């Protein structure tokens, strides 16, 4: 398989060698402004830089849409690498995977092929916040991902370092905020590769720096060099860059851990697949691996306290993400408590154990001592120390909701470069950037998703409006319309939209249509089947009542009293058949549970949607508006695309919004009249 990729890469080199005379002198950044009267032809529609979770999804989405796509990364072998924890999904993150899958993305399907411990989180808290999660076999995931990508039509993979962007003058139609137009990339070798649009998914590699104890080494990931040139280019192009920090725990040798004293955590007996396309996951339920739980103790606190002078992050006061704190910052803040340490397997063929909760940047020998303080880990051998990573990110207020940058046309950013953390957050942006990169090249309007219809929409709106002062991670509480944005209905929310834009296969769309029709007919059956309350009560062996008010089966299953199974038994002639499909019956039940609350929320949803429909012209001259200075500065910086986005920007006041409405009016009048 690897040979295949390499061959394609070589082939590619042959192709570009003819083009080489058109390329520009290496290292002369930005001086390549439209030298030739006619642009040389593009080699590709879309170039994706980076082969992590954002890059893989971006490249695959672009290729699915029929665009000629190139994925360039340092090493082909690291495509699909899970650099941190060996798990996908969770609460909020699982929602994202479902949405990616609804858009025909890869990670859900790959997880169904590589998980070793599937568990649905939050099952006792209501289906809107169920969190599908799985421990993943790293090696398998990578293998399946690479297999998938190399089999993808229209997609070429290439191993090379990208040194710079190929930039030109912006097109004449571009507004004043645009400084450049991106025509492709320049490789470290000096080669130029042209494309209509470029997606950067460089993760933590922009001036990445690894920190262990007091030592820091330039690197994007252990063993991989940083991308310095690219960061410099972005800097010079005028992007505001920030610096973020994240960390990863040490890895332990599982053979040296005494699991008998830890609390085991079992996988689900009937694992639920991530993908809407799958009815089951690859692994036999009984063959799944276990996770274990243990806790830190007083000895850990003392060790950290006594050695805190050896910790660069603590000395410098760099603040890490609040939801992925290092063990030392947890211990310093919440000294009294013992902290959870989850012992997670890294895969079927690996003895490595990932101690989740032990993210650590102390010197190596101290890390080993800390580990040995913890119950069950007294004899554990550390195979690799934990480390911190500091890296540059682009303030995401400089990108549009299509993930294209304001400053450079045809350049899209996705993943950690935008200040997010997590595989799922990266993948979701990746698929989005991939789709929009293709659309931009085809001069089609961007694909956007609203806060009212998806977690992806919530994330992108949050990023482009508020920026990221710490790595952004998805939580369900970020979504206002959480009871609508559920994992179970992601396909009904997004697949059709994805199909219309071309990133969803005919096959998937047919399946979604089938599910939709089955669910619809099931719901109408439920709503049409009505009988008096007194009849329901005798059916359910509840104390009799004389009420003859009619109640539908739909109303009845919305509460806790009646399950679909009981209903199917009570009236098999009506429901026997529809409820023989467990997926449909569960989805119908969930719809019923939330239908009342959803109806109540519709007004708020509509209100927001209306505001989202009012678009602000991209070329709006904020300078000339008669609004407060603070509003003006914020608006110029963020360039909101709709009134809804503008209203969410802290510091933009009411009167500024009214003025904006007027300008929106100019642009939208015809559109709105026709829609109303």
Partner 1 sequence: MVGRFSGDPPQPRKAIFRRFFHPKTGQEIDRGLLLWFPGPSSFTGEDCCELHVHGGSAVSSAIIDALGSVSGLRYAGPGEFTRRSFQNGKLDLTEVEGIADLINAETEAQRRLALRQMNGALAKLYAAWKDKLLKNVAHLEAFIDFSEEENIEDGVTQAVFDNIVEVQQDIQRHLQDSRRGERLRTGVHLAIVGRPNVGKSSLLNTLCGRPVAMVSPVAGTTRDVIETTLNISGYPVIVSDTAGLRHTNDELESEGVRRAIERSKSSDILVVVVDVRDASVQRFLSSGHSSADRFVSRLLRRLGVVTLQSEGDVERPEVILLLNKDDLIPERKRLELLHAIQGRSRKAFCCLGSCYTEGGLDEFLNLLTTVLQNLCDDSSTESPMLTNDRHRLHLVNCLKFLTKYVEEHRSNDCVLGAEALRRALRQMAKVTGHVTTVTGHVTTTTGDDILDVIFNDFCIGK
Please select the residue that binds partner 1; options are 261, 298, 542, 610, rule is CB under 8 A: 610
Name, in order, each residue with C-beta under 8 angstroms of 523's C-beta and a sequence gap of 6 or more. Answer: 554, 588, 591
Toward partner 1, which CB reaches closer, 229 or 355? Answer: 355
Which stretch of DSSP H or E encloses residue 95? helix 93-102
The residue among 531 and 615 lying less far from partner 1, judged by its C-beta, is: 615
Tokens matching residue 668: 């939208």
Nearest CA-CA partner of 361 in 243, 508, 217: 217
Dihedral, 477, 636, 177, 396 alpha carbons, nearest 10: -20
Cα separation, 549 vs 157, in Å, equals 65
Whole-angstrom distance, CA of residue 327 vs CA of residue 301: 9
Q: Which of 52, 90, 419, 434 binds partner 1 (CB under 8 A)?
A: 90
**654 near partner 1, rule: CB under 8 A:** yes
Encoded tokens for 592: 């019923």
Measured from the CB atom, is 236 or 600 closer to partner 1? 600
Q: What H or E segment, with its residue span, contains residue 121?
A: strand 115-121
Distance in Å, CB of 82 to partner 1, minimum: 14
Give the integer Cα–Cα distance in Å for 118 and 111.
Answer: 10
Binds partner 1 (CB under 8 A): choice among 194, 196, 330, 397: 330
Beta carbon of residue 17, minimum distance to partner 1 (angstroms, whole number): 47
- Decide if 55 contacts 430 (C-beta within 8 A): yes
Q: Residue 311: which of 219, 381, 245 has the closest Cα?
A: 245
Task: Give the span between the Cα atoms of 282 and 115, in whole angstroms.
Answer: 8
Kindly tell me which residue out of 22, 122, 177, 225 binds partner 1, with binding defined by CB under 8 A.
Answer: 122
> Which listed range, 54-62, 165-173, 304-312, 325-333, lies at the site for partner 1 (CB under 8 A)?
325-333
Residue with token string 């495509």? 79
Interface with partner 1 includes 609 (CB under 8 A)?
A: no
Q: Which stretch binds partner 1 (CB under 8 A): 73-81, 194-202, 228-236, 644-652?
A: 644-652
- Work out which of 34, 340, 538, 633 binds partner 1, going by CB under 8 A: 340
Give the HSE-up count for residue 516: Cα atoms under 13 Å, Cβ half-sphere.
Answer: 13
Q: Give 491 or 611: the residue with its C-beta nearer to partner 1.
A: 611
CA dist 439 and 670 (Å) reads 24
Distance of CA 156 to the CA centre of its chain: 23
Among residues 182 and 649, whose Cβ is nearest to partner 1? Answer: 649
Interface pick for partner 1 out of 6, 9, 121, 228 (rule CB under 8 A):
121
Q: Are 226 and 375 in contact (CB under 8 A)?
A: no
Question: How many chain residues interact with partner 1 (CB under 8 A)?
Answer: 68
C-beta closer to partner 1: residue 128 or 185: 128
Q: Which segment (215-223, 224-232, 519-527, 655-663) binds partner 1 by CB under 8 A?
A: 655-663
89: three-class secondary structure by DSSP? strand
Q: Give CA–CA dist 190/340, Å, rounded.
A: 49
Q: Tell me the two tokens of residue 199.
A: 């997606």
Question: Which residues share a beta bridge with 197?
Answer: 46
Over the window 531 to 570, marking each residue x when it contacts partner 1 by CB under 8 A and - when it does not, the resulting string is -----------------------------x----------
Residue 648 engages partner 1 in binding (rule: CB under 8 A): yes
Considering only the stretches 35-43, 97-105, 337-345, 386-394, report the one whose residues sit in contact with partner 1 under the rule CB under 8 A.
337-345
* Strand positions, DSSP E, 299-427: 340-345, 352-356, 382-384, 387-394, 408-409, 411-413
Min dist CB 357 to partner 1, Å, is 6
Which of 66, 126, 242, 446 is close enough to bind partner 1 by CB under 8 A? 126
The answer to whether residues 43 and 70 touch, using CB atoms and an 8 Å cutoff, is yes
Over the range 268-288, which residues count as b (16 or more CB within 10 Å of their CB) and which as e? beebbbbbbbbeebebeeeeb
Q: Which stretch binds partner 1 (CB under 8 A): 10-18, 496-504, 507-515, 589-597?
A: 589-597
What's the rounded Cα separation, in Å, for the pair 456 and 429? 7
- In the list 47, 60, 91, 492, the residue contacting partner 1 (rule: CB under 8 A) is 91
Q: How far is CA 166 from the centre of its chain?
A: 27
**Residue 604 interacts with partner 1 (CB under 8 A): yes or no:** yes
The neighbour count for residue 552, using CB atoms within 10 Å, is 17
Beta carbon nearer to partner 1, 286 or 674: 674
How far is 622 from 376, CA to CA, in rounded Å?
62
Stretch touching partner 1 by CB under 8 A, among 307-315, 324-332, 372-380, 395-403: 324-332
Q: Does 676 bind partner 1 (CB under 8 A)?
A: yes
C-beta of 350: minimal distance to partner 1 in Å?
Answer: 19
Residues 467-496 that bind partner 1 (CB under 8 A): 475-478, 480, 482-483
Which residues are bridge partners to 133 per DSSP? 89, 119
362 binds partner 1 (CB under 8 A): no
Instruction: Find the shortest distance in angstroms from Cβ 299 to partner 1.
Output: 18
- Of the listed pieces 121-129, 202-210, 229-237, 440-448, which binds partner 1 according to CB under 8 A? 121-129
597 is an interface residue for partner 1 by CB under 8 A: yes
Sites of contact with partner 1 (CB under 8 A): 85, 90-92, 121-122, 124-129, 131, 321-325, 330, 333-334, 337, 339-340, 342, 356-357, 359, 462, 466, 475-478, 480, 482-483, 560, 593-594, 597, 601, 603-604, 607-608, 610-611, 613-614, 643-644, 647-648, 650, 654-655, 657-659, 661-662, 665-666, 669, 672-673, 676
């Amino acid at each position: 398989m690897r040979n295949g990729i390499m061959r394609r890469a070589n082939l590619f080199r042959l192709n570009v060698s003819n083009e080489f005379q058109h390329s520009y002198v290496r290292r002369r950044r930005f001086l390549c402004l439209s030298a030739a009267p006619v642009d040389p032809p593009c080699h590709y529609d879309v170039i994706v830089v980076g082969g992590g979770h954002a890059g893989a999804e971006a490249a695959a989405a672009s290729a699915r849409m029929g665009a000629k796509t190139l994925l360039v990364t340092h090493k082909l072998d690291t495509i699909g690498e899970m650099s941190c924890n060996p798990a996908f999904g969770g609460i909020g993150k699982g929602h994202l995977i479902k949405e990616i899958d609804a858009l025909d993305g890869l990670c859900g399907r790959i997880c169904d092929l590589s998980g070793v411990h599937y568990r649905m989180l939050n099952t006792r808290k209501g289906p809107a916040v169920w969190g599908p999660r799985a421990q993943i076999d790293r090696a398998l995931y990578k293998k399946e991902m690479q297999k998938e990508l190399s089999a993808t039509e229209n997609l070429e993979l290439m191993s090379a370092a990208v040194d710079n962007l190929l930039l030109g003058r912006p097109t004449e139609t571009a507004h004043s905020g645009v400084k450049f137009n991106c025509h492709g990339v320049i490789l470290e070798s000096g080669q130029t590769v042209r494309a209509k649009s470029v997606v950067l998914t460089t993760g933590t590699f922009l001036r990445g720096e690894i920190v262990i104890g007091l030592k820091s080494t330039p690197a994007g990931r252990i063993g991989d060099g940083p991308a310095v040139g690219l960061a410099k280019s972005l800097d010079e192009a005028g992007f505001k860059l920030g610096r973020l920090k994240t960390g990863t725990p040490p890895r332990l040798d599982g053979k040296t851990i005494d699991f008998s004293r830890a609390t085991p955590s079992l996988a689900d007996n009937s694992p639920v697949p991530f993908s809407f396309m799958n009815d089951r996951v690859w692994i036999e339920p009984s063959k799944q691996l276990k996770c274990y739980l243990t806790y830190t103790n007083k000895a850990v606190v003392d060790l950290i306290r006594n050695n805190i002078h050896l910790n660069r992050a603590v000395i410098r006061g760099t603040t890490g993400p609040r939801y992925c704190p290092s063990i030392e910052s947890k211990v310093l803040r919440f000294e009294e408590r013992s902290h959870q340490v989850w012992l997670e397997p890294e895969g079927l063929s690996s003895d490595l154990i990932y101690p989740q909760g032990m993210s650590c940047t102390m010197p190596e020998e101290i890390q080993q001592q800390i580990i040995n303080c913890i119950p069950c880990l007294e004899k554990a051998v550390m195979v690799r120390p934990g480390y911190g990573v500091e890296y540059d990110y682009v303030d995401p207020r400089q990108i549009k909701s299509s993930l294209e940058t304001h400053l450079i046309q045809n350049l899209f950013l996705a993943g950690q470069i935008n200040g997010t953390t997590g595989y799922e957050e990266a993948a979701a942006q990746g698929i989005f950037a991939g789709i929009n990169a293709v659309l931009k090249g085809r001069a089609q309007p961007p694909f956007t998703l609203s806060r009212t219809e998806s977690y992806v929409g919530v994330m992108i709106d949050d990023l482009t409006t508020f920026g990221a002062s710490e790595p952004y991670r998805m939580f369900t509480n970020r979504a206002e319309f959480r009871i609508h944005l559920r994992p179970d209905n992601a396909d009904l929310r997004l697949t059709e939209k994805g199909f219309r834009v071309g990133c969803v296969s005919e096959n998937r769309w047919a399946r979604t249509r089938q599910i939709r029709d089955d669910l619809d007919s099931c719901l109408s059956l439920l709503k049409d089947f009505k009988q008096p309350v007194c009849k329901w009560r005798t059916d359910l062996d509840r104390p009799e009542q004389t009420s003859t008010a009619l109640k539908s089966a739909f109303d009845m299953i919305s509460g806790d009293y009646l399950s679909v199974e009981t209903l199917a038994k009570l009236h098999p002639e009506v429901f026997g058949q529809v409820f023989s499909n467990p997926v449909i019956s569960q989805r119908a039940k969930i719809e019923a549970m939330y239908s009342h609350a959803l109806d109540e929320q519709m007004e708020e949803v509509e209100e927001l949607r209306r505001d989202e429909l009012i678009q602000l012209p991209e070329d709006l001259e904020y300078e000339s508006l008669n609004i407060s200075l603070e509003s003006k500065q914020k608006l110029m910086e963020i360039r909101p695309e709709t009134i809804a986005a503008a209203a969410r920007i802290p510091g933009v006041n009411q009167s500024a919004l009214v003025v904006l409405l007027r300008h929106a009016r100019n642009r939208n009048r015809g559109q709105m009249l026709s829609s109303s």
